[in-house]
Amino acid sequence: MVSETGASEARVAESIAALGAGRMGRGIAVQFAYAGHQVALLDLKPRDAQAFAALRDAALAEIAETLAMLAEFGMGDAALVPGILARVTVLPAAEAPAALVRADIVFEGVPEILDLKRAALAEASAAMRPDAILASTTSTIMVDDLSGAVVHPGRFLNAHWLNPAYLVPLVEVSPGAATEPAVTERLMELLTRVGKVPVRCAASPGFIVPRVQALAMNEAARLVEEGVASAEDVDRALRYGFSFRFGVIGLLEFIDWGGVDILHHASRYLEGALGDDRYRAPAVVGRFMAEGRRGMGAGAGFLPWAEMDVVAHKRARLAALAQRLREEGLVRPPAPPAD
């Protein structure tokens, strides 16, 4: 996240609207209000006045608690929380059209049900200005399965946030066939400005993280199911092994560190030993081996190592891993010399 007095206040901050006042909408509201933007959190369900007041109060209380927690974590001054919270307005469904007219960027965050999303997007896009941007936060539905519901498909794309939205930096940005390139660039610039790390990806089921995550989560569940280890030990192994490394070194980068051939041979062994072709390496691994693109030592693999200062790069990555050891309290002093 950027600081409340960060770069976003050096220019006129875009007006943001979030469709849906649930977890995702509230997380997006925290992120943008923190960065200086006015945010309209729109409840799309018809409710009586009493029910809406309860929802509004609960949403604002949760956002205030989140902001106070971030201040406790050293991310801002607690004295600024009331001012940040004042940038968020929770509105009932009847007032959504007027709020949408004022919005420059609208994020849809209703449940992952195709018909619900299409209905929300259709209603929102009909009320929005033609120069505004509409983005779905879907984690599963491809952009072109939704774009037919919007009035201006050139101004529409997917922007998948990961929960908690106000802490996880990544936003997977997936433009559709009709999305104007300038719209994608503008959204990515805005996300960068408020402290996110946007990554562009093609329209594909599961984007990047949910697709890799689903495989890893299912495999962890299988390890418990097969009695390989307890749930606690699986999580401990993943936290201090898998996640420890891959919080610093990317998966594809790590393949190159060890060598593409290591993945090739390990995959063949696991496929044979476990009798399951889900461990089979993709064709690109065999192709890279045939082309001599075996990783860091060969100057090329998934990444162009010949263009990098490999020694400096490795040192920086190792320093980051050492820092993680310190943060986990796992650094021990060296043993003294023997007498």
The structural domain count of the chain equals: 2
Q: What is the mean pLDDT of residues 297-321?
A: 96
45/109 same-domain check: yes
DSSP 127-141: HS-TTSEEEE--SSS
Indicate which CATH number applies to the domain containing 23: 3.40.50.720
Q: What is the mean pLDDT of residues 208-224?
A: 96
- Enumerate the H helices of 172-306 as residue ranges: 181-193, 209-225, 231-237, 243-246, 251-258, 260-274, 283-290
Q: What is the mean pLDDT of residues 14-33?
A: 97
Query: Helix (H) and strand (E) counts for the chain?
Result: 13, 8
Instruction: Report the pLDDT value the prediction gives residue 10, as an integer from 0 to 100.
Output: 52
Instruction: Report the pLDDT value the prediction gives residue 286, as an integer from 0 to 100.
Output: 95
301/174 same-domain check: no
Say whether pLDDT at 7 is over 70.
no
Report if residue 5 sits inside a domain.
Answer: no
Report if residue 110 sits inside a domain.
Answer: yes
Phi, psi (degrees; rounded to nearest 5) at 41: -100, 110
180/248 same-domain check: no
23/72 same-domain check: yes
Indicate which CATH number applies to the domain containing 259: 1.10.1040
DSSP 4-39: TTSGGGGSPPPPEEEE--SHHHHHHHHHHHHTT--E
Report if residue 316 sits inside a domain.
Answer: yes
38/147 same-domain check: yes
Average pLDDT, the chain: 95
The residue out of 171, 200, 229 marking a domain boundary is 200
- Cα–Cα separations (whole angstroms), residue 316 to 194, 240, 303: 26, 20, 17
The residue out of 146, 177, 200 marking a domain boundary is 200
pLDDT digits (tens, 9 = 90+) for 146-189: 999 999 999 999 999 999 999 999 999 999 999 999 999 999 99
Say whether pLDDT at 4 is over 60.
no
DSSP 148-201: GGSS-GGGEEEEEE-SSTTT--EEEEEE-TT--HHHHHHHHHHHHHTT-EEEE-
Report if residue 2 sits inside a domain.
Answer: no
Q: Domain of residue 310: give its range.
A: 208-328
Chain centre distance of CA 252 = 18
SS3 134: strand
Report if residue 165 sits inside a domain.
Answer: yes
Q: How confident is the model at residue 8 (pLDDT cuts 50, 70, 90)?
A: very low
Q: What is the pTM of this model?
A: 0.90
Phi, psi (degrees; rounded to nearest 5) at 255: -55, -45
227/129 same-domain check: no
The residue out of 138, 173, 200 marking a domain boundary is 200
Cα–Cα distance measured from residue 304 to residue 234, given in angstroms and rounded to the nearest whole number = 34
Phi, psi (degrees; rounded to nearest 5) at 17: -130, 145
* Rg of the chain, C-alpha, whole Å: 23
223/267 same-domain check: yes
125/234 same-domain check: no
Sequence-separated (6 or more) residues with CB below 8 Å from residue 12: none
Instruction: Report the pLDDT value the prediction gives residue 18, as an integer from 0 to 100.
Output: 98
pLDDT digits (tens, 9 = 90+) for 62-115: 999 999 999 999 999 999 999 999 999 999 999 999 999 999 999 999 999 999
192/258 same-domain check: no
Cα–Cα distance measured from residue 199 to residue 214, given in angstroms and rounded to the nearest whole number = 19
Sequence length of the chain is: 339
Report if residue 28 sits inside a domain.
Answer: yes
Q: In this structure, which long-range contacts are made by residues 146-150, counting pairs with CB atoms below 8 Å and at least 24 apart in sequence?
A: 146/114, 146/117, 146/118, 146/121, 147/176, 147/177, 147/178, 147/179, 148/118, 149/117, 149/118, 149/119, 149/121, 149/122, 149/125, 150/121, 150/122, 150/125
135/262 same-domain check: no
Chain centre distance of CA 201 = 12
Amino acid at site 297: G
Tell me whether strands 197-200 and 170-175 are parallel, antiparallel or unpaired. parallel
Report if residue 1 sits inside a domain.
Answer: no
248/193 same-domain check: no
Say whether pLDDT at 24 is over 50.
yes
Report if residue 72 sits inside a domain.
Answer: yes
192/242 same-domain check: no
Q: N- to C-terminal Cα distance for the chain?
A: 52
Show the CA angle centred on residue 198, arms to residues 141 and 314, nearest 5°.
Answer: 120
- Cα–Cα separations (whole angstroms), residue 23 to 41, 146, 292: 11, 21, 47
